[in-house]
Amino acid sequence: MKCLPIIPLPNTIAPGPGACDLQPGVAIRCGSPQLTEAADSLRDDLAELGIVATESGQPIDLTLAPSEREAYELEISPGGITIQGDEAGVFYGVQSLRQLLMLREGAAPSVPCCRITDRPRFSWRGYMLDESRHFFGKEYVKKLLDWMALLKLNRFHWHLTDEPAWRIEIRKYPKLAEVGGRGCYSDPSAPVAFYTQDDIRDIVEYARRRHIVIVPEIDMPGHATAANRAYPEFSGGGSERCPDFTFNPGNEATYAYLEDILSEVADLFPGPWLHLGGDEVHFGNEQWNRDKHVQALMAREGIETLKDVEFHFIRRMSAFLKSLGKTCVGWDEIVDSGVPADQAVVMWWRHDLPGMRDAAFGHGFNTILCPRVPCYFDFVQHGSHDWGRRWQGAFGTVDALYGFPTEADIPVDSPDLVMGIQGNLWTERVRGGARADFMSFPRLQALAEAGWTDPGNKGLSSFHQRIERMFPLMKQAGIAYFDCLHPAATPEIPGVDKATGAAALEEEIQAGMADA
pLDDT at 55: 85
**Are residue 52 and residue 132 in the same domain, yes or no?**
no
**Are residue 248 and residue 275 in the same domain, yes or no?**
yes
Domain-located, residue 5: no
Q: Are 249 and 222 in contact (CB under 8 A)?
A: no
Residue 196 has pLDDT above 60, yes or no: yes
Domain-located, residue 1: no
Q: Are 316 and 291 in contact (CB under 8 A)?
A: no
Residue 1 has pLDDT above 50, yes or no: no
pLDDT at 397: 97
If you average pLDDT over residues 82-100, what whole number do you get? 97
**Are residue 112 and residue 169 in the same domain, yes or no?**
no
Domain-located, residue 380: yes
If you average pLDDT over residues 97-110, what whole number do you get? 91
If you average pLDDT over residues 242-255, what whole number do you get? 97
Q: How many CB atoms lie within 10 A of CB 67?
A: 17
pLDDT over 70 percentage in the chain: 96
**Are residue 105 and residue 136 in the same domain, yes or no?**
no
Question: DSSP for 108-162?
Answer: S-EEEEEEEEE--S-SEEEEEEE-SSS---HHHHHHHHHHHHHTT--EEEEE-BS
Q: For residue 204, give Cα distances in angstroms to 88, 197, 465.
A: 16, 10, 34
pLDDT at 496: 79
Domain that holds residue 29: 12-118
**Are residue 109 and residue 149 in the same domain, yes or no?**
no
Domain ends where: 118, 140, 174? 118
**Are residue 418 and residue 458 in the same domain, yes or no?**
yes
Long-range contacts of 352-356 (CB under 8 A, 24+ apart): 352/391, 352/513, 353/516, 354/408, 356/332
Domain-located, residue 465: yes
Residue 57 has pLDDT above 60, yes or no: yes
**Are residue 391 and residue 440 in the same domain, yes or no?**
yes
In this prediction, residue 497 has a pLDDT band, given cuts at 50, 70 and 90, of: low
105-119, 145-159, 218-232, 260-274: lowest mean pLDDT where? 105-119
Residue 56 has pLDDT above 90, yes or no: no
**Are residue 180 and residue 237 in the same domain, yes or no?**
yes
Query: What is the distance between the alpha carbons of residues 142 and 144, in angstroms, rounded to a whole number?
Result: 5
- Phi, psi values for residue 63, rounded to 5°: -135, 130
Q: Are 194 and 175 in contact (CB under 8 A)?
A: no
Residue environment code for 403-414, b if the CB has 16+ CB neighbours within 10 A, otherwise e: ebbeeebebeee
Residue 505 has pLDDT above 80, yes or no: no
User: In this predicted model, what pLDDT tens digit does every residue of 398-416 receive, in sequence order?
Assistant: 999 999 999 999 999 999 9
**Are residue 56 and residue 173 in the same domain, yes or no?**
no
In this prediction, residue 506 has a pLDDT band, given cuts at 50, 70 and 90, of: low
Predicted TM-score (pTM) of this structure: 0.96
Count of domains forming the chain: 2
**Are residue 23 and residue 150 in the same domain, yes or no?**
no
Domain ends where: 66, 95, 118? 118
Domain-located, residue 73: yes
Domain-located, residue 253: yes
Mean pLDDT across the chain: 94
Residue 325 has pLDDT above 60, yes or no: yes
Find all residues with CB under 8 Å of 252, minimum gap 6, and list them. none
105-109, 391-395, 500-504: lowest mean pLDDT where? 500-504
Q: Which residues pair with 422 in a beta bridge?
A: 126
Residue 200 has pLDDT above 70, yes or no: yes
Which among 125, 92, 145 has a CA at the least distance from the CA of 423?
Answer: 125
Residue 136 has pLDDT above 90, yes or no: yes
User: In this predicted model, what pLDDT tens digit does every residue of 424-450 receive, in sequence order?
Assistant: 999 999 999 999 999 999 999 999 999
Domain of residue 87, CATH code: 3.30.379.10
Domain ends where: 83, 118, 153? 118
Domain of residue 380, CATH code: 3.20.20.80
410 SS3 class: coil
Q: How far apart are the first and last CA of the chain?
A: 53
Q: For residue 84, give Cα distances in angstroms to 80, 94, 211, 414.
A: 13, 10, 16, 31
In this prediction, residue 31 has a pLDDT band, given cuts at 50, 70 and 90, of: confident
Domain-located, residue 3: no
Domain-located, residue 418: yes
pLDDT at 403: 97
Q: Which residues pair with 19 in a beta bridge?
A: 112
Q: How many CB atoms lie within 10 A of CB 388?
A: 24
**Are residue 164 and residue 109 in the same domain, yes or no?**
no
If you average pLDDT over residues 122-147, what whole number do you get? 98
Query: What is the distance between the alpha carbons of residues 76 and 60, in angstroms, rounded to a whole number?
Result: 9
**Are residue 245 and residue 350 in the same domain, yes or no?**
yes
If you average pLDDT over residues 92-116, what whole number do you get? 94
pLDDT at 507: 54
In this prediction, residue 489 has a pLDDT band, given cuts at 50, 70 and 90, of: confident
Query: What is the distance between the alpha carbons of residues 476 and 455, in angstroms, rounded to a whole number?
Result: 31
User: In this predicted model, what pLDDT tens digit does every residue of 207-245 receive, in sequence order?
Assistant: 999 999 999 999 999 999 999 999 999 999 999 999 999
